């Protein structure tokens, strides 16, 4: 795991699997990821993200809006809401992002996930690997009770990852993408299901120091 060096604990959180690292989204890592965003993350239908989404914009507004969004999100951390941004690093190169979001986590113990990968590395199983990594952080590191996610019904890759990891269907919903309404599949992973599928080759770093920042007091319940 890389050297921990930030005075802000969320940027020091890391998750290590045999195939990739999830590292706190420091400005240095974001700058290294800018060329991927500039090149384009979404290039054809079906559009995977709901509105508003900076990655749908034209360059260079795409990169500027994306950076502003991450910077703003990193600063809006409280006991009632937080979002941890991670850069996905494979063989030393940033290739995407994985986010973990908590709303009233102290009361409900639930999290949501959001992610994207460079088109150049899709289809290699990294989507599943990074989801398993962030779930390990949520359940083992933070003591979550449940993890939720959703994807448009025609987003075969995201729905396939959720199913492969072990999520259960959790209803449907609607959202807009590029101004048009579209149906969503909702998924959930309970602590019990995660425990039955948990891996023993994923390690965490910097989590204990981060807990007070997120309003998590004491050791997580396991």
In a domain, 81, yes or no: yes
Return the closest-CA partner of residue 88 out of 111, 66, 121, 61: 121
Q: Which two tokens stand for residue 211?
A: 């807990």
In a domain, 48, yes or no: yes
In a domain, 130, yes or no: yes
Give me the domain span that covers residue 45.
Answer: 9-214
Compute and round to an integer the Cα radius of gyration of the chain. Answer: 17
Express each pLDDT in 77-97 by its tens digit. 999 999 999 999 999 999 999
Q: What is the CATH number of the domain that holds 140?
A: 3.40.630.30
Question: Is 90 exceeded by the pLDDT of residue 63?
Answer: yes
Express each pLDDT in 149-183 by its tens digit. 999 999 999 999 999 999 999 999 999 999 999 99
Cis amide bond preceding 155, omega within 30 = no
Identify the three-state secondary structure at position 200: coil
Read off the pTM.
0.95
Q: Give the per-residue pLDDT at 217.
A: 85
Question: Is 70 exceeded by the pLDDT of residue 213?
Answer: yes
In a domain, 76, yes or no: yes
Return the closest-CA partner of residue 66 out of 52, 46, 84: 52
Average pLDDT, the chain: 95
In a domain, 1, yes or no: no
CA distance 115 to 130: 9
In a domain, 25, yes or no: yes
Task: State the burial class of residue 64 (Cβ atoms within 10 Å of its Cβ: 0-12, 13-18, 19+).
Answer: middle
In a domain, 221, yes or no: no
Q: What are the C-alpha distances in Å from 16 to residues 1, 19, 203, 205, 206?
A: 7, 8, 5, 8, 12
In a domain, 127, yes or no: yes
Number of domains in the chain: 1
Question: Is 60 exceeded by the pLDDT of residue 140?
Answer: yes
């Amino acid at each position: 795991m890389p050297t921990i060096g930030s005075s802000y604990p969320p940027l020091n959180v890391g998750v290590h699997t045999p195939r990739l690292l999830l590292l706190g989204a420091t400005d240095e890592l974001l700058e290294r990821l800018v060329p991927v965003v500039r090149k384009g993350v979404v290039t054809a239908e079906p559009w995977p993200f709901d509105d508003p989404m900076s990655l749908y914009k034209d360059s260079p507004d795409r990169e500027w809006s994306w950076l502003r969004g991450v910077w703003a999100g990193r600063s809006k951390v409280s006991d009632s809401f937080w979002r941890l941004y991670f850069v996905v690093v494979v063989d030393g190169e940033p290739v995407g992002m994985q986010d973990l979001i908590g709303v009233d986590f102290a009361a409900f113990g639930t999290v949501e996930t959001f992610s994207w990968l460079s088109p150049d590395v899709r289809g290699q199983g990294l989507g599943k690997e990074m989801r398993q990594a962030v779930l390990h952080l949520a359940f083992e590191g933070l003591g979550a009770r449940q993890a939720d996610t959703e994807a448009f019904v025609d987003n075969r890759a995201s729905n396939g990852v959720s199913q492969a990891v072990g999520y259960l269907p959790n209803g449907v919903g609607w959202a807009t993408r590029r101004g048009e309404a579209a149906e969503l599949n909702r998924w959930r992973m309970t602590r019990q299901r995660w425990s039955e599928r948990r891996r023993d080759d994923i390690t965490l770093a910097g989590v204990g120091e981060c807990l007070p920042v997120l309003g998590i007091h004491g050791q997580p319940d396991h």
